[in-house]
Amino acid sequence: MDFLKAFHIEFIRPWMLLLLLLVPWIIYQARGVRILSTFRKRLAIGLRIFLIVLLVLALAEPQWRKSGEGLTVFFLLDNSESIPAEQREYGLEFINHQIKTGKQDEDRCGLIVFGKDAVIESEARQYMSVAQLSSIVDARGTDIAGAIRLAMAAFPPDAAKRIVLLSDGNQTSGDAELEAKRAAAKDVEISVAPLRYVYDQEIVLREVVMPSHVRTDEPFDVKVLVDSLYEGDATLRLYGDGQLVTEQPVTLEKGLNAFVVTQETDAGGFHSYTAVVEAADDARPDNNRGSGFVVIRGLPRVLILDGADGANSQYLAAALNAEGMSVEVRGPSGAPGSLAEFEAYDAIVLADFAASYLSHDQMLMIQSAVRDFGTGLLMIGGEDSFGSGGYLNTPIEQALPVSMDIKQRKVIPSGALAMIMHTCEIAQGNYWAQQISLAALDVLSPQDYVGFLRYSNTQGESWLFPLGPAGNKKDQKKLLSTLSWQDIGDMPSFDYSLRLAYQGLTDPGIPCNLKHIVIISDGDPQPPSQALASKIKSAGITISTVTIAPHTPNSVAVMKNLAQWGGGNAYYVQDNQELPRIFAKEATTVKRGLIIEEPFTPAITRMHEALLGFPQGFPDLLGYVIVTPKPNADLCMVTHQEDPLFSTWRHGIGKAAAWTSDAAPRWGQNWISWDGYVQFWSQVVRWLLPESEDQNIQVTTSIEGDRARIVVDAVNDDGQFLNGLNFAGSTRVDPSIGNQGIEFRHTAPGRYEATFPVSDPGSHMMSLRYKGEDASGEIIEGQVTSGLAVPFSPEQASTTSNERILELVAEAGGGKVISHEDDAFTHDLAFSREITPLWPLLLAVGLILFFLDIAQRRLVIDTRQMREAWARLKARIPLPAFLKPAAVGPATEEIGSLMQAKTRALKGAPRPAAEQYQRERGQGEAVGEEHPGETREDLLTRLDRLASEGVEDQAVKPAQREHPASKPDDTGQAVPEPLDRSPSGKYTGSLLEAKRRAQEKFKQKD
């Protein structure tokens, strides 16, 4: 074992080595192995012994420990919002100083920058200098534990390891002390260099506290908690739903200050309150804001979004107000911008309100308000609603009980849109060409047609993709995404592009009801003739223009005139962000075919509570928008063509309804004067209102670090605790529209608690659902809403560094608190050892030996055959001339003579006999008795001559021998002579006999 330790080899399971005692038994058993030869038998025994030894060693799991060299130090630099700028500069200076003064040549160092996340700024290397940081991290939090984990993963395995943490210690997530203990267990030391600071002139608004639910006209207190590090004067402002409610001077005392503002409102619904404290000497104003939410149980609040600034909904709003509802009407630019604002209403009505007036995020907010918080949604028809308003494939379509995609009609209305792009001189021109085209594609249905015309610097006016069904959106979007700077050039004239669009739209293969052309340009190209524009208009094709970045006012006039000639709209855009909305709106022009304008009498197909109380029936309507009912929707009323008129369903915990006609004089003029108008619409909206929340369920929210804490107290009407309820909830963050579930724990009688991370600033809207049984076994279920505002990141709440946390981390990590003068590269750590397991190598060698053992016992190798095979193979391989062996002359005269005789013998029939004679005679001097003194050369020459003449040589004439065939064997039977001893002929026999005598004579002489 000492020998193995000298080579740094250790065994994890050394007791397995006892199996080596089986080796003598294997030798004993191998004696009886039947093998062809002694050598192969010994080889088999040796292979088996070696194989068993390898397997036993592998079972013992040997490993090789290689000691590392040098020291590796990873610096962890805190770059979160709580670190002042001067401390960040000090951190960089500290790192560079340590590298310059303490690092040895064999040492390595690296840098990790962290905040809410961690990034490797520099890997471990021998040389490093940091002038400024290039990595970007999320500075809204501090996760020291995550930075330690990243450093441990980045360390090389063959060196001593040390982490130097530079931070203020104000962690907002993770457990740095626990992670330091784990690092120490893996021989990683952690030392800390505190980034110290104190904000002397600082105030922090800690919390805004108010009741979660109050009744209408019931006063309630808004409590504002302010933490101040100094004494002084300040101003407190309170905003309710974004409007300033009160402003008052306050005096701040050192420590925690509480200010109470009493509020009262008669508007029911969800309300938000924001408090702001301002002071002249405050160091950081970002943390002087806080928010809270309250639900007012009172009159239902209804928001009407009207595309005509109230003209389409004036009669509807009056009817709802007459029924005791609080109605607010907003135009195209007045849609709320946050989920909290949408959720403050009990119902949302879209009255002929185009989708282009809403951003995608606003649509997501409306959908979330319905699905997650129970807000009602009603869409009322018009030329800018449903499919004709561009709601195909939008989140609002998902929330409604009808689909904008028409599939079940015998005649499906369709439209065709041709887009002409000239955006080369717009900033990011190709990008905006892509965005506006994609926005238009999203509006169109698969039954519609779309084409894209542009002027290319290489191809001139041409189609990027010709007019075709919008169902090929995947391929069309792929072409749009590959646009390059050469694909949209500086168009010289509108004339040819308009002619191409006209030819495409009038093609008989484009069977569309409505056809439209949209041009985007700076107005610089040569304008087309009015005759061409009038010709296009007379063919039922309209033209709209979008002017952006014009060179002169005349360019705007050119585009405006072109739109007037073509019977379309003219836009002058000064903000590129408006382009997608405009093109989505223009794309809906070809959706006007979805509108049916003819009188009809509504027919009830399914009774609904909104339709009760009208025994005389309903008046006629003059038009509607075609839609398709969804499979799970309730189709309550239909038109004369059996298209949906009134449909309802539940979406999440909310309700939604679709009325495909309007509530205005255009299609509903007979309804406006109808006595049941107010009753009908009030019943529809009341059905949409969320169910009343249980007043016995109280929700309290608070922020603790980077997590929100929710406490729910549940009692019954008698004040008894409600236990055993199952709470489930979700929270959505505005404006990112993030969503996460909430899990509750039953912590006390009637109390349920939950926490969730809230490190991102914003308004967190919470929807909580519960179900269970009371003491009598009656089923209890319901839904409550609440909210929580995070006005600033948790990093802004700290006013001083937390050195206690840093000390605990250093203690847990086996390090110390170091200063600028200390040496971070002190070589006082045990070097790390790299462990390499050896058992995989042993198993691999053992596997090879196993197959060798089988092979040497089962396979017999004939060496003669192998040599012959190699000779044949070698003869077939062509070799270059310079690799062929050089010709070698005869070593002696006798051998040369024999070779010449052999060559001559091959030229005639008798020569083989002579050649055989030469080979068998050997070398010598005189051999014939009849020619005394004859040399070997003379003899061979004579034999060659005789063989060529075919004359028998009397001197070498063989003696007559009796053939063995004439002699009987022991049994009396004649035995034939073997073939290999029979002479091949008269001449051959004589030569062989002469050779024999010559060999005997030369042998006697020798």
Residue 482 and residue 442: Cα distance in Å, rounded?
A: 18
- 928: confidence class by pLDDT, cuts 50, 70, 90: very low
Q: Which residues of 719-746 are buried (b: 16+ CB within 10 A; e: fewer)?
A: eeebbebebebbbbbbeebeeeebebee
Structure tokens at 996: 């024999």
Tokens of 441: 């594609």
Tokens of 79: 């770059």
Q: What are phi and psi for residue 326, nearest 5 degrees? A: -95, 110
Residue-wise pLDDT tens digits, 86-137: 999 999 999 999 999 988 888 999 999 999 999 999 999 988 888 888 888 9
Beta strands at 9-11 and 751-757: parallel, antiparallel or unpaired? unpaired
* Selection from 254, 86, 95 nearest residue 164 by Cα: 95
Q: What is the predicted pLDDT for the residue at 594?
A: 83
Q: In the predicted model, is pLDDT for residue 910 greater than 70? A: no
What is the rounded CA–CA span in Å between residue 680 and residue 683?
5
Is residue 1002 scored above 70 in pLDDT? Answer: no
For residue 306, the surrounding DSSP H or E stretch is strand 301-306
Cis peptide before 413 (omega within 30 of 0): no
Question: What whole-number distance in Å separates Cα of residue 405 and Cα of residue 388?
Answer: 11
CA distances to 272, 339, 405, 698, 728 from 731, rounded to whole Å, are 16, 11, 32, 17, 11
Chain centroid to CA 622: how far? 51
pLDDT of 484 strictly over 70: no
Q: What is the mean pLDDT of residues 350-359?
A: 90
pLDDT score at 483 = 62
For residues 347-369, average pLDDT: 91
Average pLDDT score over residue span 277-284:
87
Whole-number percent of the chain with pLDDT over 90: 27
Q: Which distant-in-sequence residues (6+ apart) come within 8 Å of 793 by Cβ?
A: 81, 140, 141, 759, 760, 761
Angstrom distance (rounded) from CA 421 to CA 69: 65
Highest mean pLDDT among 164-168, 727-731, 886-890: 164-168
At residue 237, the pLDDT reads 94
What is the pLDDT averaged over residues 297-309? 87
Query: Is pLDDT at 392 greater than 80 in this prediction?
Result: yes
pLDDT at 474 over 70: no
Give the confidence band of 1003 by pLDDT, cuts at 50, 70, 90. Answer: low
Which of 117-131, 396-410, 510-524, 848-862 has the least mean pLDDT?
Answer: 848-862
CA distance 144 to 78: 8
How would residue 176 be classed by pLDDT, with cut points 50, 70 and 90?
very high
Q: What angle do CA 31, 34, 40 make, to 5 degrees?
A: 85
Dist. CA 584–CA 582, nearest whole Å: 5
Tell whether the model's pLDDT for residue 920 goes beyond 60. Answer: no
Choose the most confident range, by mean pLDDT, from 105-109, 511-515, 567-571, 804-808.
804-808
Encoding tokens for residue 798?
């700290």
Burial (0-12, 13-18, 19+ Cβ within 10 Å), 983? middle
Phi, psi angle pair for 349, to nearest 5°: -115, 125
Of the candidates 724, 590, 602, 716, the residue with the CA atom closest to the CA atom of residue 667: 602
The amino acid occupying position 834 is E
Q: What is the pLDDT of residues 736-791, one digit of tens each?
A: 445 667 888 888 888 899 888 776 676 777 778 888 887 777 788 887 877 777 77
Instruction: Spell 469-491 as b/e; 16+ CB within 10 A means b.
Output: bbeebeebeeebeebeeebbbeb
Torsion angle, alpha carbons of 74, 79, 84, 85, to 10: 90
Question: For the segment 950-999, what is each residue's pLDDT rounded down to a tens digit?
Answer: 544 444 444 444 444 444 444 444 444 444 444 444 555 665 666 667 66
**Predicted pLDDT of residue 67:** 57
Burial of 861 (0-12, 13-18, 19+ CB in 10 A): exposed
CA distance 311 to 167: 60
Amino acid symbol at 829: L
Which residues make Cβ contacts (< 8 Å) with residue 168, sequence separation at least 6?
A: 78, 82, 83, 87, 142, 194, 195, 196, 197, 798, 801, 802
Q: What 3-state DSSP class applies to 946?
A: helix
Instruction: Give the 3-state DSSP-derived string for 692-719, with helices as H, strands as E and coil as C.
Output: CCCCCEEEEEEEECCEEEEEEEEECCCC
**Mean pLDDT, residues 217-230 taken together:** 88
pLDDT (average), residues 356-380: 90
Amino acid type, 592: R
Mean pLDDT of the chain: 80
pLDDT, tens only, 491-500: 788 888 898 8
Report how many helices (DSSP H) and strands (DSSP E) the chain contains, helices first. Answer: 25, 43
In angstroms, what CA-CA distances link 388 with 575, 731, 979?
25, 33, 111
Is residue 683 over pLDDT 90? yes
897 pLDDT band, cuts 50/70/90, is low
Tell me what pLDDT residue 710 has: 87
What are the structure tokens assigned to 94, written together? 């500290």
pLDDT of the residue at 674 = 92
Check pLDDT > 70 for residue 733. no
Confidence of residue 431 (pLDDT cuts 50, 70, 90): low
SS3 287: helix
What sections of 1-143 are H helices per DSSP?
A: 2-6, 23-29, 38-59, 85-102
**Which has the closest alpha carbon to 151: 171, 173, 130, 122?**
122
For residue 59, how many C-alpha atoms fall within 13 Å in the half-sphere facing its CB? 12
Please say whether the beta carbons of 532 and 495 come within 8 A.
yes
Give the bridge partners for 751, in sequence order.
Answer: 713, 748
| pLDDT-based confidence at residue 68 (cuts at 50, 70, 90) | low
Q: pLDDT of 562-619, one tens digit each?
A: 888 888 888 887 776 777 777 777 777 766 668 889 999 999 999 998 999 898 889 9
Percent of the chain with pLDDT over 70: 78
Q: What is the pLDDT of residue 48?
A: 79
Position 69 scores a pLDDT of 63
Separation between Cα atoms, residue 765 and residue 553, nearest integer Å: 49
Averaged over 131-156, what is the pLDDT? 91
Report field, pTM of the whole predicted structure over 0.85: no
Confidence at 934, pLDDT banded by 50, 70, 90: low
pLDDT digit string, tens, across residues 838-866: 888 888 888 888 888 777 777 666 667 77
